[in-house]
Amino acid sequence: NAGVMQNPRHLVRRRGQEARLRCSPMKGHSHVYWYRQLPEEGLKFMVYLQKENIIDESGMPKERFSAEFPKEGPSILRIQQVVRGDSAAYFCASSPGTGTMNTEAFFGQGTRLTVV
């Protein structure tokens, strides 16, 4: 049973390009969460998704950022027209379909985005 898989592990983009980050949850998990971590800081919640639904996107910047979790395939975090301030580690977590995180969350290894 593979854990949460994120790819790529490292992503370098020039300013103005698009970044696509992928997350495959653990088998049997239908809830996905995206977090962003700046160096030496904690994780900031971005968005919570279930299959084909965005449940909570209160942590997502209003512009350039979007997320989806289609019926088939991984969850995608998309950042359009990247800027240097988007450079960070982006972590995905998954949990069973309990509706809350009243259980442990399983994290992927993260995607480290560097904008040059």
Partner 1 sequence: SQQGEEDPQALSIQEGENATMNCSYKTSINNLQWYRQNSGRGLVHLILIRSNEREKHSGRLRVTLDTSKKSSSLLITASRAADTASYFCATDTGRRALTFGSGTRLQVQP
Binding stretches for partner 1 (CB under 8 A): 4, 33, 35, 41-45, 48, 55-56, 59, 91, 93, 99-110, 112
Q: Which residue, 18 or 41, is less far from partner 1 as judged by CB?
A: 41
- For the bound state, the minimum distance from the C-beta of residue 103 to partner 1, rounded and expressed in Å, comes to 7
- For the bound state, the minimum distance from the C-beta of residue 115 to partner 1, rounded and expressed in Å, comes to 18
Closest to 67 in 3D by CA, of 59, 96, 42: 59
Q: Which residue, 33 or 69, is less far from partner 1 as judged by CB?
A: 33
Q: Which residue, 79 or 89, is less far from partner 1 as judged by CB?
A: 89
Closest to 108 in 3D by CA, of 52, 53, 43, 58: 43
The angle subtended at Cα 1 by Cα 36 and Cα 74, nearest 5°, is 45
